[in-house]
Structure 1
Amino acid sequence: MRRLSALLVSALLVLPLAACGDDDATAAPAGTSAAEPVLRLVTTVAPITSIVAAVAGDRARIDGLVPEGTNSHTFEPPPSAAKVLSEADVVFINGLKLEEPTKKLAERNLADDARLVELGDEVLPESDWIFDFSFPEKDGKPNPHLWTDPTYAIKYAEVVRDTLVDVDADGRSTYEANYTAFSEQATALSDALKKDQESLAPDERELLTYHDAYAYFAKTYGWKVVGAIQPSDFAEPTPKDIARLIDQIQAEKVKAIFGSEVFPSDALAEIGKATGVHWEDTLRDDDLPGAPGEPEHSWLGLMRSNYVTILTRLGGTADALKALDTTPAVPDTASYPQ
């Protein structure tokens, strides 16, 4: 465990992680607690950062590595990330082969007493891995998007809690209380989703997405993912792929096509025009709504926004979700590269 002096020195030395050239990129966010951080934590994608921040609270300085709105599957960490990783007490990544370049960099640079925690691998046995349109089994990489399912987000938070208690026993009461608060909010989100999805008949709960980020969600909540537009190599779909999807949409009578703002594609408009089906390109895989420090900029805000969009575009209602307060119970002062 590093002491405060080491943290302060490293804060002055670390270069900005995002390639935006903003001189203020490493400045502490507004509202940062004056409490002395005990731990230095590093995370990857924004939803993971948000979940870790919800449990760690002000006992840790948290630095995200993957800029929001970036394709996390192909992200290559910048050289400056090596120093940040070398000063971490714990590095939390999603795992399930999502962030392999970052994992390798961490393994080369972590201190001997630091930990690398792969959340997905901790909570999902290999027997439950899902391979699908975007993640075929022949490639050996399972669908890694557990965080779009609230039940797995709670399991992630549980692993974070247990890890932090293990490395910082003095913070046990804080971590346990923060975990409980997050679990209660995530459960309320899940309950609201279950209530609102009743506005759709079971056979209407179908998803055709650009990038398949909802496989585990679908399994838990009784939805069907009928296809994904993006090929497994993250290239644009070919004319043959598009023709096949048009036939599938017409056969399945799909009501809407859901794209992602991380993966803009002209194919969505082309397919929508050919089928007369509405296409929506505002789903967020790992780009939190709003700006860092705002109430909606959280895992809770992310998933509430996506669920409302999905339900309403398919002709359902989302009254329970819209009424839900998703303001994080614990102020989030983590650093989110933009």
Structure 2
Amino acid sequence: MNDMRMTLWAGTAAALLLTATVTACSGDDSGTVPAAVATTTASSSPSAAPDLGAAEEVARGLDVPWGLTFLPGGDALIAERDTARILRLTPGGSEPRQVAEVPGVAPVGEGGLLGITVSPDFATDNLVYAYFTAADDNRIVRFRLDGGGADTEVVFSGIANASDHNGGRIAFGPDGMLYAGTGDAGDTSRAQDPGSPNGKILRLTPDGDPAPGNPTAGSPVYSLGHRNVQGLAWDADGRLFATEFGQNEIDEVNLIRAGRNYGWPAVEGDGDDASGRYTNPLVTWPVRDASPSGVAIGGTTAYVAALRGERLWTLPLNGDTIGEPAARLQGQYGRLRTVQVAPDGALWVTTSNTDGRGDVRDGDDRILRFPAR
């Protein structure tokens, strides 16, 4: 079923390439996604600002907590990259408890159990979605939470894997479609290849088919020219923002517009050529200051978790532009991987010091909660 989907959309590659080489593509140029369904994404909330000076440790001793999402009642689900476990945490002092284990995860390097999200209809269908590295590819699966992962169904497969650049963030947008950030898996040519799902942001139906209204009919590709996307979040007006790892010099935050080409590997950071073929980022940092993974939006502020930079960046949002970024929590907790806004407006942040690249501190890895004020 998934191979058939891959074959069908690969046949539209030439049309997508033509679409992606112009600035004004077939998507809405405002950057907003079609508002087909009114849902609330776990990565954004219009609630009050979190108090970044009032950290509460809600969990510790975790093994590379990569994915984080919230259930409608406020409980958190946490995906551990290397163990393939999904833990459930109820705010208020309880210990995380295992509620599922995703079969088929093959953790190597930066790969493993990565992003998770829940269905917009979770209250009725009980479905959890997960993006993970398998033996032969990266893939997206879904399963009923009350089944513990035993009824796992593959909804999209064939995303090339590697020891790094696996992407991995997934989230449902305000249109009810499933978005996935992928990486080039170490082959830079994939990012510009419209027939490859790598180096892209994909837009899928909940069943894993190319979403209606995509820039090219029958293709899951929403945008291309990405190196390694690990953060997706929408603001209150439906604009999609994404974080992207640079190679040696420049990391990025991009405003994602349907069909746009973000330049990798021809461009790292700014580099829009005279024809307008590539779309420039809104914000760039030196790699040493960022390596941005998760992003969340609360009100008019975006929060970006930085790995190598070991800080939380706050970015004031003003429509299609971003104000002066400010570094918070610098050096306090080490590498920061994922950030999400909870239903109550609190900001949750996961550390990533046990991922093989960090300096492990007593209690790592941990989850921090910053209450809304």
TM-score (norm 2): 0.29
TM-score (norm 1): 0.31
User: Bigger radius of gyration, 1 or 2?
Assistant: 1
| Higher relative helix content | 1
